[in-house]
Structure 1
Amino acid sequence: MDKKLSLAALAALGQETRLDVFRLLVKAGQEGVPAGEIADRLGAVQNTVSTHLKVLTQAGLIRPERCGRVIRYVADMTGFRDLLAYLMEDCCNGAPELCRPVIEAVTCRC
């Protein structure tokens, strides 16, 4: 991940509703959540959520998957891992044992 994409991802997650959407999709796993249901679950206006979904998609944090006429959104864990890797790229100045607790905390045990 480059600096420009990491800034886009951080900016996307820096907005309350988008952070809520991302966390909702992370919880949903690979099953994802239909766009309309995301708005319902968050108690938000569908037009507004649509805009937030676009920002998160462009930032590489979520991806749409078409199932017939329904578009489901799924957290893009590769994009999220890339963001974390970029942030920790030069971590600990050569002392990886200092980063180990962070890496273990974000490692999925699914």
Structure 2
Amino acid sequence: MELEFAAKALKELGHPTRLMIFKHLVKHGYQGLPVGEIQEALSIPGSTLSHHISSLVAAGLVTQRRDGRTLFCVPQFETLQGVIDFLQDECCTQ
């Protein structure tokens, strides 16, 4: 993983609301959650939620898929693992 990519992911997760959203998605696994359920569970206004989800999508931490009229947000566990691996890559090498 490149430094810039890891930095962007960490920056987006560094915001309390985005971290709360991402943690909620992670709890629900690979199937993801409909945006409406995220909004209801976390009590975040729609426009605010949309802004934060867009940031997580831009960082590669979340993808979105449509099922009919429902928009699902899906956490990208591979990206999360990549960031963790990036941070641990040089652990104890000195």
TM range (shorter): over 0.9
| Richer in helix (by share) | 1
Report the counterpart of residue 70 of structure 1 in structure 2: 70
Alignment of 1:13-92 (within 5 A): 13-92=13-92
User: Which structure 2 residue ranges, 5 or more long, are not aligned?
Assistant: none
Alignment of 1:87-106 (within 5 A): 87-93=87-93
2:24 corresponds to 1:12: no
Which aligned runs of 4 or more in structure 1 are off by greater than 4 angstroms? none
Q: Secondary structure at the match of 1:64?
A: strand
For 1:30 and 1:90, locate their aligned partners in 2 and report how far apart those are by CA, in whole Å. Answer: 29
* Identity over aligned pairs, percent: 35
Q: Secondary structure at the match of 1:65?
A: strand
For 2:23 and 2:69, locate their aligned partners in 1 and report how far apart those are by CA, in whole Å. Answer: 24
For 1:66 and 1:18, locate their aligned partners in 2 and report how far apart those are by CA, in whole Å. Answer: 21
For 1:83 and 1:73, locate their aligned partners in 2 and report how far apart those are by CA, in whole Å. Answer: 19
What do you get for the CA RMSD once the two structures are aligned?
A: 1.1
User: Which structure 1 residue ranges, 5 or more long, are not aligned?
Assistant: 95-110
Deviations 1:13-39 (A, max 9, x none): 111110010000000001211112211
How many aligned positions are there? 94
Q: Which has the higher contact order (CA 8 A, sep 6+)?
A: 2
Q: Please, what TM-score do these two structures have when normalized by structure 2?
A: 0.94
Structure with bigger gyration radius: 1
